[in-house]
Amino acid sequence: MFPTAKLVVNSETSKNFDFSNQLQEYNKLNWISSLQDSDYSKIQEICLQFNQNNISASSAELGKDLEKFQNLKFLDLSLSQNKICDQSFIDICSSISKIKSLDIVYLAFWGNQITEEGIKKAIEFIVQCQNLKIFCLYLGDNQIKDAGLQIISENLKHLQNIKHLQLSLWKNYITDVGFRYFSENLSSFPNIISLYIDFLYHQNITDETAILLGKSLSNLKHMRVLHINFDQTGITEVGKQKLAEMISQISQIVCLKYFYFEKNGFLNKFENTKQTLKSFKRRSHRLIFVQVNLKKNLIEY
């Protein structure tokens, strides 16, 4: 029930290219030349897996190639671990903004060198895609600080047609300040159906974030699917319990994935949070998942 990039099967209207782990320059990948006999106007879905290459210096060229597909509806672009810098990220997003037909976009840029300077201009381009219904942005393991999340939050609210939003910012440099901006702007997505937020590896976020987030989530009256990742953060059991209590009052949720890491395998430490969500499941009679990660063990209720 959580939106994930679908499997794109090669056909006249769909193209899938996987050049991951090649450590190649962009001009060596030759994906666009393989389409020289194709009618670009008929291609509606493209999946490009270019992880672990050396594309940063040729980002503008990649962007220009993407612009050739002006009837594209679905784009899955993975450029993780490519040493992508701010300007490269901006170049690519600038080109994406020129494809007005897009309604589903997955952008995976984790493990690069993107900062809030790149975020500022890149997101301004992305919000020009006013037809977007599903937007997934994976920016984990970059160099993004509070100002970067503020920019993302204040700009994404302009995508009024968004129904499914995934935002992954694990292992950056974000504190309660940045997540406060995000929580306060959630009310700008009144029609959101599915929300995925990933706070993984942020020791500087505290119970304040959890409580403010819970209050903001309660205002999303159409939300049916929620995935929250609190793995290895500074949020304590007190914050998790209060958030769980607020989530348990959102009666319209039909699928919940509440994920956090339990240090040293002490289950009893989070017993109150688990019991709150289990009681929610019993009351709602809906499909509810509660997951606790114990290094190798995954418990579902």
Give the tokens for residue 207.
Answer: 């119970």
Nearest to 291 by CA among 281, 300, 282: 300
DSSP string, 35-74: GTTS-GGG--EEEEE--SSB-GGGHHHHHHHHTT-TT--E
Domains and CATH numbers, the chain: 1-174 (3.80.10.10), 203-301 (3.40.50)
Whole-number Å distance between alpha carbons of 229 and 206: 14
Amino acid at 10: N
Write out 228-268 in H/E/C secondary structure.
Answer: EECCCCCCCHHHHHHHHHHHCCCCCCCEEEEEEECHHHCHH
Q: What is the pLDDT of residue 257?
A: 79
End-to-end CA distance of the chain: 16
Q: What is the pLDDT of residue 5?
A: 61
Q: What is the pLDDT of residue 267?
A: 45
Q: Give the Cα-Cα-Cα angle 198, 206, 169 (nearest 5 degrees).
A: 20
Whole-number Å distance between alpha carbons of 287 and 301: 10
**The overall pTM is greater than 0.85:** yes
Distances (CA, A) of 128 to 56, 94, 165: 23, 9, 16
- What are the DSSP E strand ranges found in 114-219? 134-138, 164-168, 194-198
Q: What is the pLDDT of residue 166?
A: 95
Going residue by residue through the chain (301 aa), what tens digit of pLDDT does each one get?
344 566 678 899 999 999 999 999 999 999 999 998 999 999 999 999 999 999 999 999 999 999 999 999 999 999 999 999 999 999 999 999 999 999 999 999 999 999 999 999 999 999 999 999 999 999 999 999 999 999 999 999 899 899 999 999 999 999 999 999 999 999 888 889 999 998 888 989 999 999 999 999 988 989 988 888 877 889 888 888 888 888 888 878 877 777 755 554 444 456 676 677 666 666 555 545 544 443 333 333 3
Nearest to 122 by CA among 86, 75, 170, 71: 86
